Amino acid sequence: SKHGRFQQNHMLKWLESKWTRPMAMDAMPVDEGSLNPISQMELSLSEAPDGNHTAAIEMAACQSPEAESIYVARRILRQIREEGMRFNQTAVLVRSLPAYQEIIRHTFDRYGIPCFIDHRESVAHHPLVELTRCVLRLPAFGWTHDDWFTYLKTGLTDLIEAEIDDLENAAIERGWRGLRWWNPLKGPEDLVNRFEPIRRKLLKPIKTFLGKSDHDSETKMPLPWNGIQLAAAFRKLWKTLNIEYRLETWDESAFHSPKPNIQDGFHIRVLEVLEAWLLNFELAFAETPLPIREWIPIVDAGLNNLTVGVIPPAIDQVLVGAIDRSRNPDLKSTYLMGLNESVFPAKPTAPMVFDELERLQLENAGVHIGSRYRTQLATERFLGYIGCTRATEHLTLSYALNTSEGKAQAPSVFIQHVKRIFPQLKIHSFNERIDLSAALHERELLISPEFWRWKKGQSEAVLSQILPNMDSRITLSSISQHTGKATNQPLNGVIARHLYSESRTSPTLYTSVSRIEAFAECPFRFFVQSGLKTEERMAFELDARRLGSFQHAALEAFHMALEDEGLRWRDLTPSQARELMEQITSQTMKDFHEGLMEDKPVNRVTASALSQALGTFVAVIVEWMSHYTFEPIGVEVAFGGKEPQIPAWEIQLSDDTKMVFNGIIDRVDLCTREGQSSWAIVIDYKSGKKKPDEILSWNGVQLQLPVYLNVLRQPDAGASIEAKHIQPAGAFFTTLRAKHEGKSSRKEALDPDTSIDSMRKAYQHVGCFDISALDAMDQREGANRGEQFQYQLNKNGAPRKTNWHVMSPAKFDHFLYRTRDLLKEFGQRIFEGDLSIAPYQQSQQTPCQKCDYASVCRIDPWTQQWRQLEPACYGEFNDGKEA
């Protein structure tokens, strides 16, 4: 029989035979020779889509296209589990794939249904297409960094991945860009030896592409080419790069990969498509010479539209495709989705040349070109027939009551059409609210309050009672994967020792104060930074870090210049200090970081503003010297490291582990005292305003100032800075980029005579100090409020209650010892492998706001339990005694 396919299925057989002339099935007289009677049971099955059997034909109205895809996914799972259906005997068909493709892909992915989306793959971003684009863009847009590295990262050049990464880092750091690539590299010898061969290797194919044709010697831009010349240049480039061989190798390795995620022979088909496109390109533009820049939009338009058909793999997957494209003769079950008005049948498109009336007039005049409208409707009807008669056992028709945006929409005429043939067929409604007892997949549990009650132990039911439909393979542990929080398991101690130290016998953590502050903020942040050794990529840009280095370099040069002359800071007047600083910055600008400050006009303007600000800064400091008995005796003082001026600070953590601090102190000021140890003050330059916070210091989040003071307190610290014994007096932050306050004009603010006045407050030093050193720090008669240093005293000479940072000697000692104890505790926890994701929160502040590792730890600020910091307990000031 010509209906042999449907011998097992009367309903589908009836649907196929009555599609063009609909006739209700139950109204038909039974002809035993040709058609078996439809049993009452068969019809009733169609009323129970969630029962134990699947009906031959089902219809469902869903809330949205997303709900439709969930409905389909659930039906497929049922058929697989209960009826022995295979994924590759099932297809999901839609009228237009782009509208449904991602919805279906996501849903099926969630439900673990393997699917093959039958479409033509765009090759607009295939590496060969990117490479072809880039070689045009390179000369056209001045050899930009992005174009160079997009070209290299296609993986189709002779450079290997590690070489490209190294080269990119060096190029960003050294500012190698534009036409610099055409000339031998300059810079430190080892870098040049390393990268010059790579540069030559990368330039070779580009030179082949440009050929010996005339080009502008300055920009290396070729003179206008016609289509034939351009196509020949592309072919030459592909040949030089041995593209065919490379693409074959890619296909080969994709084929042998354990998880092939790409079509067999896909890459080589891309080359074939591109070659075919080049032939058309030559024909179309044979005689048109154009400058290279004008070829870009033309070539782009061509490349963007290239597609390659994807071949279905021979594995067990559900076919998802468009009705007019997908072919699969062996389907048992078909899901026809998106049966909505104007979706399927699709709305007729507007005619390109003649409208319906004109076609009618032409027909009356004897020219028969047919009605486009009618042809389109007939095609849609035919596609409806194809979609409904593809499967041999099950057909499911579904439509959405609303679009994804929530706009109401009507069902398609095909729904009515099928209803006319099967009047008894019920249309089931489906929304996404799934009863827990009907759950088919663990993902459905997550949206069920009943499940969460069970999980929290608030439900009496046992899992097998509440989940009767779950696949027996799904275990509690697989459910926990989706519901459990990431645990903060520590690293094994042995691994931690290997990670943080090179020595096996006496593990030593060499670190800096900022890294330990990161541990105090969040141990996981420290682990990523110091354990996994992630590093920020350096760029040849005047960013905040480089600006800071420039300022530090200038202040160091200022101090060295005075030392060379045998002068002290206080020997200069404010205007002399400013003048000297301006001379120094103009020299520093030239030498700084291979000319970075003069690289661009904007850098020169920034450098000149910095120079003025530094001039004002030293002028203000020098002016304060009249009542400040300390003298700067060291700048950029290194402790630990390769050339230490002060020994590194070591903290013994256990019998065999220790922690060693290295770093650089921006400035040390000393006040020598007859017969006593010298007072020392540490100044730390900041680019913004920063002040010590009592709670952050107590909890180890702000350690910089007390660590520096502890470094100076070491017995042999004074030797290199010409002091026998040092007694820390205080440590302060001061900004280098202060803002003018309360000036009526820019001119007034920049006037050297008024700027010192206005900047005193802005440059005020903020930090912690021992009150017994105050007389040496501020010798102004009867002052009870600091100008250079921030403090306020009561009438009795004691600091105000809010001045926690003005400390009695005992409190100051406690402050320094507490730091050492905290560091010891942190060091021990690091070697025990603590890598907990435990960021603190104080007021609204968390370290995550400025952390680069959120993508690594995957923190969710909405659900994170923040660690609360302990209140500080340094003790109260009480006339020099602790309360």
Smallest distance from the beta carbon of 524 to ligand SF4, in angstroms?
4
Both structure tokens of 260: 């092939």
Nearer to ligand SF4 by C-beta: 61 or 851? 851
Smallest distance from the beta carbon of 509 to ligand SF4, in angstroms?
19
* d(C-alpha 78, C-alpha 89), whole Å: 14
* d(C-alpha 519, C-alpha 835), whole Å: 9
Nearer to ligand SF4 by C-beta: 49 or 839? 839
Smallest distance from the beta carbon of 280 to ligand SF4, in angstroms?
52
Both structure tokens of 576: 């002399």
- Contact between 430 and 60 (Cβ < 8 Å): yes
Smallest distance from the beta carbon of 837 to ligand SF4, in angstroms?
5
- Contact between 856 and 526 (Cβ < 8 Å): no
> Is the sign of the CA dihedral 756, 761, 764, 769 positive or negative?
positive
Smallest distance from the beta carbon of 527 to ligand SF4, in angstroms?
8
Smallest distance from the beta carbon of 823 to ligand SF4, in angstroms?
20
Smallest distance from the beta carbon of 701 to ligand SF4, in angstroms?
11
| Nearest alpha-carbon partner for 834 in 534, 533, 535, 518 | 518
Smallest distance from the beta carbon of 843 to ligand SF4, in angstroms?
16
- For residue 79, report the phi and psi dihedrals to the nearest 5 degrees: -65, -40
| Nearest alpha-carbon partner for 782 in 771, 793, 767, 791 | 793
Nearer to ligand SF4 by C-beta: 345 or 839? 839
Nearer to ligand SF4 by C-beta: 308 or 851? 851
Q: Could you give the angle at which helices 601-624 and 544-564 cross, rounded to 10 degrees?
A: 50
* d(C-alpha 635, C-alpha 62), whole Å: 73
Smallest distance from the beta carbon of 862 to ligand SF4, in angstroms?
13
- Contact between 48 and 38 (Cβ < 8 Å): no
Nearer to ligand SF4 by C-beta: 439 or 491? 491
Smallest distance from the beta carbon of 523 to ligand SF4, in angstroms?
8
* d(C-alpha 432, C-alpha 583), whole Å: 73
CA-CA distances (angstroms) from residue 561 to 231, 467, 555, 614, 671?
63, 81, 10, 15, 21
Q: For residues 477-511, b (16+ Cβ closer than 10 Å) or e, as one string?
A: eebeeeeeeeeeeebeeeebbebbbeeeeebbbbb
Smallest distance from the beta carbon of 342 to ligand SF4, in angstroms?
47
Nearer to ligand SF4 by C-beta: 445 or 837? 837
- For residue 645, report the phi and psi dihedrals to the nearest 5 degrees: -90, -30
* d(C-alpha 815, C-alpha 584), whole Å: 38
Report which residue type is found at 455: K
Nearer to ligand SF4 by C-beta: 295 or 527? 527
Smallest distance from the beta carbon of 521 to ligand SF4, in angstroms?
6
Nearer to ligand SF4 by C-beta: 532 or 719? 532
Q: Could you give the angle at which helices 574-591 and 752-762 cross, rounded to 10 degrees?
A: 80
Which residue intervals of 258-367 are DSSP H helices?
A: 266-284, 292-304, 356-364
Nearer to ligand SF4 by C-beta: 58 or 521? 521
* d(C-alpha 536, C-alpha 545), whole Å: 11
Nearer to ligand SF4 by C-beta: 68 or 521? 521
* d(C-alpha 848, C-alpha 362), whole Å: 72
Mark residue 254 as left, alpha or beta (left: phi above 0; alpha: psi -120 to 50; beta: remaining): alpha
Nearer to ligand SF4 by C-beta: 36 or 534? 534
Binding site for ligand SF4 (CB under 6 A): 521-522, 524-525, 837, 839, 847-848, 851, 853-854, 857, 859
Chain center to CA of 220: 36
Nearer to ligand SF4 by C-beta: 26 or 852? 852
